[in-house]
């Protein structure tokens, strides 16, 4: 499970293509990452996930983000993925993915959305977009959530502000454009991955 591992940071590779996915995932895993999300609005996302799962599925949770409907859950299941992330709360989507044994981390912004997701079986929550709400909001929301449900900050998280969200009670974070932008070289992904890992270690003392 993503929150029980050594580095609870989810790499979001939005826009990556099947031809480049393995090289980028390789450097992420080399840096210590253990969870990779390829959003469904990436080119040929099913193919990218299937390739990544075949190559690295024994080393990391790999799956899709921006999953919006049951049809996408079915397509995701066919890739052999182990992770599903959504930008919103759709109880039917959550239940279907949980039924397939996927680790599910849906996006929410309010207590009502959070509890709807938990009741549907979500094992974790992401507060999205975190940078728009800020750490104080997340800290207040965490106060009413079950303590065993891990919360991830997603949206606007950088190596510079990661510690603020961990201090607010997030177990980890999902990392988007500050980690990966479509078309960037593998060397840039490796550089940013190292920066995030360093920030995590500094913030947690691990």
Residue 4 lies in a domain: no
Taking residues 20-47, report their average pLDDT. 98
**How many angstroms separate the CA atoms of 124 and 158, rounded?**
21
Task: Assign residue 103 the CATH number of its domain.
Answer: 3.20.20.70
Residue 2 lies in a domain: no
Residue 1 lies in a domain: no
Query: How do residues 50-65 score in pLDDT, each as one tens digit?
Result: 999 999 999 999 999 9
C-alpha angle 126-42-31 in degrees, rounded to nearest 5: 65
Q: What's the domain count of the chain? A: 1
pLDDT at position 81 is 98
* pLDDT band at residue 206 using 50, 70 and 90 as cut-offs: confident
Does the structure show a pLDDT above 90 at 1?
no
Query: How do residues 158-193 score in pLDDT, each as one tens digit?
Result: 999 999 999 999 999 999 999 999 999 999 999 999
Residue 194 lies in a domain: yes
Domain that holds residue 131: 9-204
Q: Kindly state the percentage of the chain with pLDDT values over 70.
A: 98
pLDDT at position 4 is 56
How many CA within 13 A on the CB side of residue 44?
Answer: 10
Bridge-based pairing state of the strands 151-154 and 61-65: unpaired
pLDDT at position 3 is 57
pTM: 0.96
Residue 127 lies in a domain: yes
pLDDT at position 187 is 98
Closest to 64 (Cα-Cα) out of 115, 10, 4? 10
Q: Kindly state the percentage of the chain with pLDDT values over 90.
A: 97
**How many angstroms separate the CA atoms of 140 and 128, rounded?**
15
Residue 43 CB neighbour total at 10 angstroms: 12
pLDDT at position 61 is 96
Q: What element of type H or E holds 11?
A: strand 9-12
Contact 157, 131 (CB under 8 A): yes
User: Which residues belong to the active site?
Assistant: 37, 126
**How many angstroms separate the CA atoms of 185 and 150, rounded?**
32
Residue 26 lies in a domain: yes
**How many angstroms separate the CA atoms of 34 and 57, rounded?**
10
Taking residues 136-156, report their average pLDDT. 97
Nearby residues of 146 by Cβ (< 8 Å), 6 or more positions away: 118
The residue written with tokens 């959305």 in the block is: 113
pLDDT at position 192 is 98
Query: How do residues 59-109 score in pLDDT, each as one tens digit?
Result: 999 999 999 999 999 999 999 999 999 999 999 999 999 999 999 999 999
Contact 21, 102 (CB under 8 A): no
Residue 3 lies in a domain: no
Average pLDDT of every residue of the chain? 96
Does the structure show a pLDDT above 70 at 21?
yes
Contact 133, 127 (CB under 8 A): yes
CA 99 to chain centre: 19
């Amino acid at each position: 499970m993503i929150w029980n591992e050594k580095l609870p940071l989810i790499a979001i590779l939005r826009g990556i293509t099947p031809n480049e996915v393995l090289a980028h995932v390789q450097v992420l895993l080399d840096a210590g990452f253990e969870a990779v999300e390829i959003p469904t609005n990436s080119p040929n996302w099913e193919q990218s996930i299937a390739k990544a799962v075949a190559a690295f599925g024994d080393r990391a949770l790999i799956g899709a983000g921006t999953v919006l409907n049951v049809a996408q859950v079915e397509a995701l299941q066919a890739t052999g993925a182990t992770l599903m992330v959504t930008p919103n709360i759709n109880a039917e989507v959550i239940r279907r993915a949980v039924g397939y044994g996927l680790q599910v981390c849906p996006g929410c912004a309010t207590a009502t959305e959070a509890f709807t997701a938990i009741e549907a079986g979500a094992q974790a929550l992401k507060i999205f977009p975190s940078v728009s709400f800020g750490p104080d909001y997340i800290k207040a929301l965490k106060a009413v959530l079950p303590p065993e449900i891990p919360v991830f900050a997603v949206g606007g998280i950088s190596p510079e502000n990661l510690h603020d969200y961990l201090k607010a009670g997030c177990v980890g974070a999902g990392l988007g454009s500050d980690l990966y932008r479509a078309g960037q070289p593998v060397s840039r992904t490796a550089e940013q991955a190292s920066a995030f890992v360093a920030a995590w270690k500094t913030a947690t003392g691990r």
